[in-house]
Chains A and B, each alone.
Chain A
Amino acid sequence: MSAQEITFGKAITAGLRAALAEDEKVVLMGEDIGTLGGVFRITDGLMQEFGPDRVVDTPLAESGIMGTAVGLAYRGYRPVVEIQFDGFVYPSFDQIVSQVAKTYYRTRGAVPMPVTIRIPFGGGIGSPEHHSESPEAYFVHTAGLRVVSPSTPQEGYDLIRAAIASNDPVVYLEPKRRYHDRGPVDLSAPLRPMGPAAVAAEGTDVTLVAYGPLVKTCLQAAEAAAAEGISIDVIDLRSLSPVDYGLIEASVRRTGRLVITHEASRTGGLGAEIAATVTERCFHWLEHAPVRVTGFDIPYPPAKLEHHHVPDLDRILDGVDRALGRANSLDSIDPFAPPTPLAADGTERG
Chain B
Amino acid sequence: MGTVSLNTPPTGMPHVPEPDLHQVLTPEGHRRPDHDLDPWLEDVTATMLAGLHRDMTVIRRLDTECTHLQRQGELALWPPLLGQEASQVGSAAALHREDYVFPSYRENGVAYLRGVDPLGLVRLWRGSTYAGWNPAETNLAAQQIIIGAQSLHAVGYAMGLRRDHSEAAAISYFGDGATSQGDVNEAMVFAASYHVPVVFFCQNNHWAISEPVTLQARRHIADRPWGFGIPAMRVDGNDVLAVLAATRRALERARNGGGPTFIEAVTYRMGPHTTADDPTRYRSKDEVEAWRAKDPIDRVEAHLAATLTDSDRDAQGGPLTIEVVRAASAAAADEMAAALRTGLAGLVDPGPEALFEHVYAEPHHELARQREHYRLYLAQFDGEQLEAGTR
Q: Which A residues lie at the B interface, using CB under 8 A? A: 27, 53, 58-59, 61, 63-64, 66-77, 79, 91, 94-95, 98-99, 103-112, 114, 143-144, 146, 166-168, 195, 242-243, 245
Q: Do residues A143 and B359 form an inter-chain contact, with CB atoms below 8 A?
A: yes
A-B pairs under 8 A by CB, number = 141
Q: Do residues A242 and B152 form an inter-chain contact, with CB atoms below 8 A?
A: no
- Considering the complex, give the chain B residue whose CB is closest to the CB of A75: B160
Q: Quick check: is B290 within 8 A (CB to CB) of the other chain?
A: no
Shortest A116–chain B CB gap in Å is: 14
The stretch of B23-31, B292-300, B364-372 that contacts the partner chain: B364-372
Chain A residues within an 8 Å CB radius of B362: 166-168
Q: Do residues A111 and B135 form an inter-chain contact, with CB atoms below 8 A?
A: yes
Which single member of B183, B361, B364 contacts A64 (CB below 8 Å)? B183
Which single member of B152, B160, B357 contacts A63 (CB below 8 Å)? B152
Which single member of B129, B135, B153, B158 contacts A99 (CB below 8 Å)? B153
The stretch of B141-149, B199-207, B232-240 that contacts the partner chain: B141-149
Interface centre among A67, A69, A72, A168 (most CB of B within 10 A): A67
Q: Do residues B358 and A71 form an inter-chain contact, with CB atoms below 8 A?
A: no
Shortest B368–chain A CB gap in Å is: 10
Q: Quick check: is B110 within 8 A (CB to CB) of the other chain?
A: no
Q: Do residues B136 and A71 form an inter-chain contact, with CB atoms below 8 A?
A: no
Contact A67-B152, Cβ < 8 Å, known A106-B142, A109-B361, A243-B366: yes
Contact A109-B358, Cβ < 8 Å, known A64-B190, A74-B141, A99-B149: yes
Chain B residues within an 8 Å CB radius of A74: 100, 135, 141, 153, 156-157, 160
Q: Which B residues lie at the A interface, using CB under 8 A? A: 100, 102, 129-131, 134-136, 141-142, 146, 149, 151-161, 163-164, 170, 182-183, 186-187, 189-190, 193, 357-362, 364-367
Q: Do residues A111 and B361 form an inter-chain contact, with CB atoms below 8 A?
A: no
Shortest A293–chain B CB gap in Å is: 24
Shortest A134–chain B CB gap in Å is: 21
Bound CA span A245–B359, Å: 20
Chain A residues within an 8 Å CB radius of B135: 74, 107, 110-111
Question: What would 28 A/B residue contacts be, using CB atoms closer than 8 Å?
Answer: A27-B163, A64-B189, A68-B153, A70-B156, A71-B158, A72-B157, A72-B160, A75-B160, A77-B163, A79-B156, A94-B146, A94-B149, A99-B149, A104-B359, A105-B358, A107-B358, A108-B129, A108-B131, A109-B357, A109-B358, A109-B361, A111-B135, A111-B141, A114-B361, A143-B359, A144-B360, A168-B361, A242-B366
Chain A residues within an 8 Å CB radius of B182: 61, 63, 91
Chain A residues within an 8 Å CB radius of B146: 94, 98-99
Q: Do residues B157 and A106 form an inter-chain contact, with CB atoms below 8 A?
A: no
Chain A residues within an 8 Å CB radius of B154: 71
Contact A59-B190, Cβ < 8 Å, known A67-B152, A75-B157: yes
Shortest A99–chain B CB gap in Å is: 6
- Considering the complex, give the chain B residue whose CB is closest to the CB of A69: B156
Bound CA span A59–B185, Å: 12
Q: A75-B156, A75-B159, A108-B130 are in contact. List 15 more A-B contacts (CB 8 A).
A: A58-B190, A67-B187, A68-B153, A70-B156, A71-B158, A79-B156, A98-B146, A99-B153, A104-B359, A107-B135, A112-B361, A167-B362, A168-B362, A242-B364, A245-B366
Chain A residues within an 8 Å CB radius of B183: 63-64, 67, 94-95
Bound CA span A66–B187, Å: 11
- Considering the complex, give the chain B residue whose CB is closest to the CB of A62: B186
Bound CA span A290–B102, Å: 48
Shortest B147–chain A CB gap in Å is: 10
Q: Do residues A64 and B186 form an inter-chain contact, with CB atoms below 8 A?
A: yes
Chain B residues within an 8 Å CB radius of A105: 130, 358-359
- Considering the complex, give the chain B residue whose CB is closest to the CB of A144: B359
Shortest A56–chain B CB gap in Å is: 8
Chain B residues within an 8 Å CB radius of A77: 160, 163
Chain A residues within an 8 Å CB radius of B134: 107, 110
Contact A242-B367, Cβ < 8 Å, known A75-B157, A168-B361: yes
Bound CA span A79–B152, Å: 14
Chain B residues within an 8 Å CB radius of A166: 361-362
Bound CA span A68–B160, Å: 9
Bound CA span A67–B181, Å: 13
Shortest A35–chain B CB gap in Å is: 15
Which single member of B142, B156, B359, B361 contacts A67 (CB below 8 Å)? B156
Contact A104-B156, Cβ < 8 Å, known A67-B183, A110-B136, A243-B366: no
Shortest B227–chain A CB gap in Å is: 15
Q: Do residues B189 and A59 form an inter-chain contact, with CB atoms below 8 A?
A: yes
Shortest B250–chain A CB gap in Å is: 18
Shortest B97–chain A CB gap in Å is: 16
Bound CA span A108–B364, Å: 16
Which single member of A71, A112, A168 contacts B159 (CB below 8 Å)? A71
CB-CB nearest 5 A-B residue pairs: A71-B156, A67-B152, A75-B160, A68-B156, A64-B186
Chain A residues within an 8 Å CB radius of B189: 59, 61, 64
Which single member of B142, B155, B365, B367 contacts A111 (CB below 8 Å)? B142
Contact A64-B357, Cβ < 8 Å, known A75-B161, A110-B136, A242-B364: no
Chain B residues within an 8 Å CB radius of A243: 366
Chain B residues within an 8 Å CB radius of A63: 152, 182-183, 186
Chain B residues within an 8 Å CB radius of A61: 182, 186, 189-190
- Considering the complex, give the chain A residue whose CB is closest to the CB of B158: A71
Bound CA span A101–B67, Å: 31
Contact A195-B365, Cβ < 8 Å, known A72-B160, A110-B135: yes
Bound CA span A176–B71, Å: 56
Q: Do residues A67 and B149 form an inter-chain contact, with CB atoms below 8 A?
A: yes
- Considering the complex, give the chain B residue whose CB is closest to the CB of A57: B193
Chain A residues within an 8 Å CB radius of B136: 110-111
Q: Do residues B160 and A70 form an inter-chain contact, with CB atoms below 8 A?
A: no
Q: Do residues A76 and B130 form an inter-chain contact, with CB atoms below 8 A?
A: no
Chain B residues within an 8 Å CB radius of A245: 366
Q: Do residues B164 and A75 form an inter-chain contact, with CB atoms below 8 A?
A: yes
Q: Do residues B157 and A168 form an inter-chain contact, with CB atoms below 8 A?
A: no
Bound CA span A94–B149, Å: 9
Q: Do residues B152 and A64 form an inter-chain contact, with CB atoms below 8 A?
A: yes
Contact A106-B131, Cβ < 8 Å, known A67-B152, A71-B153: yes
- Considering the complex, give the chain B residue whose CB is closest to the CB of A99: B149
- Considering the complex, give the chain B residue whose CB is closest to the CB of A98: B146
Chain A residues within an 8 Å CB radius of B129: 108
Chain B residues within an 8 Å CB radius of A167: 361-362
Which single member of A94, A104, A242 contacts B358 (CB below 8 Å)? A104
Q: Do residues B358 and A59 form an inter-chain contact, with CB atoms below 8 A?
A: no
- Considering the complex, give the chain A residue whose CB is closest to the CB of B157: A71
